[in-house]
Structure 1
Amino acid sequence: MVSWEGGFPEDGFPEDRRPPRKGHRMVALPVVDHAAVFAAVPAPCLVLDPRLTIVEVNEAYLDVTGRRREELLGRPFFAAFPPNPADPEADGVESLRTSFDRVRALRVRDAMAVHKYDIPLASSPGAFEERWWSPVNTPVLDERGEVRWIIHRVEDATAFVRAVVPPRDHADPAQAMAAELYARGRELQRLNEELRKAHAEERHLALTLQNAMLYTPDLRRHHDLALRYRPAASSLNVCGDWYDVADVSGDRLAAAVGDVVGHGLEAALIMGMLRSALSAAIRASQGPAYALEALDMYAESVEGALGTTAVKILVDKRSHMIVYSSAGHPPPVLLHADGSCDLLDQATDPPLGAWTASVPRSQAVTGYKPGDALLLYTDGLIERRGEDIDVGLARLTGALARCADRTVERMADTVLERLGVAQGARDDVALLVLAL
């Protein structure tokens, strides 16, 4: 019997599952039994949770390992397949740990070269069988972009390796050449793993630095805002974009985003200095425009700071007013409860270093209603190569119009997803969503 999902359009058939027309008739699409498909996949596969516990296994994996489902389900992967203590050359366990760590940290697929990974014999406790595996580990992400499952697929290359790697004293020239090529490949693999480990260590240090520079105690006191940071896809996970929130008084809250020219560690260091200076300036000035003027003067003494863009806002919760000023930055968006949007673009001046010091920076004021939301962001969210910025702004406001009733956390994730930058983009992205 064929099962069907949904119905016809007039019965509420989901748009993304709407079946094709054949003349004037509607042909419903059969529901795919994903469990049956997974079980029948010819490649050996496991599904792991983020703690590397085995939660599903297909028939091909059971066949190639000689296991039963009940022996594997619910067990930690490395408890089910521990290292062979008698064979120091079987380095597959450590390499696989590194691969899993990389998938969980970077949320990207990781394909591994052939590794020697001996597996314990179910029929003889303590004994191991030589195996050569070529694994591919693929993350399955949840709606927040975090790793929910890991699909672990392997190809058993044991027979191939035994065929092309003869004993060391084998006289056949072709097989000897194959053995030499294999040995060189193993050495390149070892060097590649060392480079990956070095990169992982460098990335960890970079992330620690970035998190330290973006931290402020005032952020911990606010549950009505969401913050997102996505570095450029080609960067080391550090960038020159920033966000900041500061409690100016009991009824007034200041927020800012900014964007230093360039990427990488140098831009991040400049970002840290400018962010701290602007955060201090708003506490000691009469408003956002004055704070940006002070930052202008400070930027003159910081190499690489000129050309930075920033926007500063001050929210007065008692009067329900927003005061804002921008130094060459894309306009904040005020989202109303009915889904309509206002661009705060009435006080935009040139970036840092391009403003005449004798002329005061402009400042504007607008009102809001409780239930509205305010978005501050950097240009990586909306700008695309070869496209006018107005197109990106229209794309942003269009996405916001459909999520006005969502929490700030869901709104932030929805915006990143609908603008196609949830997993990073060509440019850095910083996003701040504040419930008013």
Structure 2
Amino acid sequence: MDDAAIDYGAVFQSLPGMVALLTPELVYADVNEEYLRMSGRRREDVVGRHLFDVFPDNPHDPAATGMRNLEASLRRVLTTGRRDAMALQRYDVEYPGRPGHWDERYWSPVNAPVIGPDGDVVLLVHRVEEVTELIRDRGGPGGDNAQVLEGELYTRALELQELNDRLRRAHAREREVALALQEAMLPARRQVGHHGAAVRYRPAVGALHVCGDWYDLVDLVGGNRIGVSVGDVVGHGLAAAGVMGQLRSALSAASRVAAGPAQALDVLGRYAHVVDGAESATAVTTFIDCDRLTITYSSAGHLPPVLVHPDGRVEFLDRATDPPLDARPDPRPRPQADTTFTPGGVLALYTDGLVERRGEDIDKGLNRLAESLVRHRDADPEDLADAVLLELLPPDGATDDTALIIVRL
């Protein structure tokens, strides 16, 4: 059964636990049937209203802090974009239709973010486990057994939090190692400085999101020529960084002896076929002849380079695109194409983290990139690269790695 055949609205309403969807302003967007049943509310009493208008704090009992704790948890999720599991909470819930009459309830909430295409939290999933009857069966809300049970649940919550913290630290350590490995295998700035080029690499946000994006610039044999390439390995962490290093080194070596970029990608494709983890990797390479004022290019499933002419005309180099590196069991010659440039133009190569956004057509991202390059085309390559990243990447970081090369022609 595919997604189109599943009625997710019906699934949401049939969930066995209490689940609510809240906006970032903590207004109810929707609730499931179990939430209404267990809370004793009608849908019109809840949806469209602020959470704490529906469930206010008990003004007569300062010890009833559940609502305040819940608000702090929801704010943490909005700020961090991460799920927050709360310890067992006591709530004083006002009886529906009986103002001033309160019922002591025990709920165990979990709050999770729903991330939108731009990386922001667009909804909060608020799930509640009702354990009031369990506590009352153990001796009543004030009994010793209830206190023991509450203490046990709280201890388990702390243990889970500590486990999560350890996992985050381990993931952060893996991220540091992968970043160090990735940076060590990418060409140093001093290798490309004399070409009038600027390079940028920005890792994705999140401990596990170090990916396999890479770039390369090499001096080519014969004439005043350079090779400029970018690529992307599917996957995350140390494994992706290792595959990235192998492919970058192989393409760098192949470009120095190949007759053109298509032949260099032919060689790289055959190599990728025997490298574990290189499945679906993409790359694009350009050979720039500064004497003949030509760019020869070939792409293995990668997004097209952008050539901005001095007059502001934009040309996407998309006439020589082929499947990814390891897409064919029997590789065959790849296509390549040529274009001309005028001194003073700008060539940009990049990876998808710069232009792709979830739920958005890729053409919108490509148009944003082109507009930014045109707007800043007269800037120094270093300033131009910084301006493009500032305008295209989300302020709190992208969810995918980004590599960018700017070459002043």
**Cα pair distance change 1:200/1:234, threshold 3 Å:** closer
Q: Is the 8 A contact 2:175 2:207 kept in 1?
A: no
2:215 to 243, 252, 268: 243
**One-letter code aligned to 1:344:** L
Match of residue 136 from structure 1: none
Match of residue 350 from structure 1: 323
Match of residue 369 from structure 1: 342
> Partners of 1:187 and 1:261 in 2: how far apart?
34
**One-letter code aligned to 2:366:** L
1:277 to 242, 250, 257: 250
Q: Is the 8 A contact 1:339 1:403 kept in 2?
A: no
Relative CO higher for 1 or 2, CA cutoff 8 Å, sep ≥ 6? 2
**Cα pair distance change 1:421/1:290, threshold 3 Å:** farther
Is 1:337 paired with 2:310? yes
Match of residue 300 from structure 1: 273
> Partners of 1:349 and 1:384 in 2: how far apart?
23
> Partners of 2:270 and 2:158 in 1: how far apart?
57
Please give the root-mean-square deviation of Cα atoms over the aligned residues, in Å: 3.6
Match of residue 267 from structure 1: 240
Scaled by the length of structure 2, the TM-score of the pair is: 0.58
Q: Is the 8 A contact 1:218 1:246 kept in 2?
A: no
**One-letter code aligned to 1:360:** P
1:234 to 178, 187, 206: 206
Match of residue 284 from structure 2: 311
Q: Is the 8 A contact 1:207 1:237 kept in 2?
A: no
Cα deviation for residue 340 of structure 1 reads 2.1
Q: Is the 8 A contact 1:216 1:244 kept in 2?
A: no
**Cα pair distance change 1:186/1:401, threshold 3 Å:** same
Q: Is the 8 A contact 1:333 1:344 kept in 2?
A: yes
Q: Is the 8 A contact 1:245 1:253 kept in 2?
A: yes
Q: Is the 8 A contact 2:349 2:405 kept in 1?
A: yes
Cα deviation per residue 1:327-382 (whole Å; 9 max; x = unaligned)?
A: 11110000122222110011111111224746421111111111111000011211
Match of residue 384 from structure 1: 357
**One-letter code aligned to 1:297:** R
Cα deviation per residue 1:53-111 (whole Å; 9 max; x = unaligned)?
A: xxxxxxxxxxxxxxxxxxxxxxxxxxxxxxxxxxxxxxxxxxxxxxxxxxxxxxx9xxx
Cα deviation for residue 298 of structure 1 reads 0.7
Match of residue 212 from structure 1: 184
> Partners of 2:281 and 2:159 in 1: how far apart?
46
Q: What SS does the corresponding residue of 1:266 show, helix, strand or coil?
A: helix
> Partners of 1:230 and 1:372 in 2: how far apart?
25
**Cα pair distance change 1:359/1:407, threshold 3 Å:** same
Instruction: Please show how residues 116-135 of structure 1 align to structure 2 within 5 Å.
Output: none
> Partners of 2:316 and 2:256 in 1: how far apart?
25
**One-letter code aligned to 1:375:** A
> Partners of 1:185 and 1:290 in 2: how far apart?
58
> Partners of 2:320 and 2:232 in 1: how far apart?
18
Match of residue 396 from structure 1: 369
**Cα pair distance change 1:231/1:224, threshold 3 Å:** same
Provide the identity percentage. Answer: 55
Match of residue 63 from structure 2: none
**Cα pair distance change 1:286/1:199, threshold 3 Å:** same
Return 348-357 or 375-384, whichever deviates more: 348-357
**Cα pair distance change 1:361/1:235, threshold 3 Å:** farther
2:263 to 287, 290, 293: 290
> Partners of 1:381 and 1:187 in 2: how far apart?
39
> Partners of 1:209 and 1:317 in 2: how far apart?
33
Match of residue 323 from structure 1: 296
Cα deviation for residue 431 of structure 1 reads 0.7
**Cα pair distance change 1:422/1:432, threshold 3 Å:** farther
Match of residue 18 from structure 1: none
> Partners of 2:279 and 2:155 in 1: how far apart?
53
> Partners of 2:171 and 2:322 in 1: how far apart?
40
Q: Is the 8 A contact 1:378 1:429 kept in 2?
A: yes
The count of aligned residue pairs is: 273
Q: What SS does the corresponding residue of 2:286 show, helix, strand or coil?
A: strand
Cα deviation for residue 202 of structure 1 reads 4.1
**Cα pair distance change 1:196/1:293, threshold 3 Å:** closer
**Cα pair distance change 1:419/1:217, threshold 3 Å:** closer
**One-letter code aligned to 1:215:** P
Scaled by the length of structure 1, the TM-score of the pair is: 0.54
Unaligned runs of 5+ in 2: 1-79, 81-143, 149-153
